[in-house]
Amino acid sequence: MEEQAENKKSESKDTTNWKAWYWGLMIFLALQIAIYLFITNLYTI
């Protein structure tokens, strides 16, 4: 029980904006796909 409380405490101490990280990662993925699509269209035989 003590350990669980300790874990919850350290989790609540974490002030990282994880939502921003997740959105950032998804936008980065979309951006990469867009670039790859652009390259593909540029060279489609």
Looking at residue 4, its amino acid is Q
What distance lies between CA 18 and its chain's CA centroid? 8
45 binding other proteins? (CB under 8 A) = yes
Distances 24 to 13, 14, 28, 31, 34 between C-alpha atoms, Å:
22, 18, 6, 10, 15
1 binding other proteins? (CB under 8 A) = no
2 binding other proteins? (CB under 8 A) = no
Residues in touch with other proteins (CB under 8 A):
3-4, 7-8, 10-11, 14, 16, 18, 21-22, 25-26, 28-29, 32-33, 36-37, 39-40, 42-45
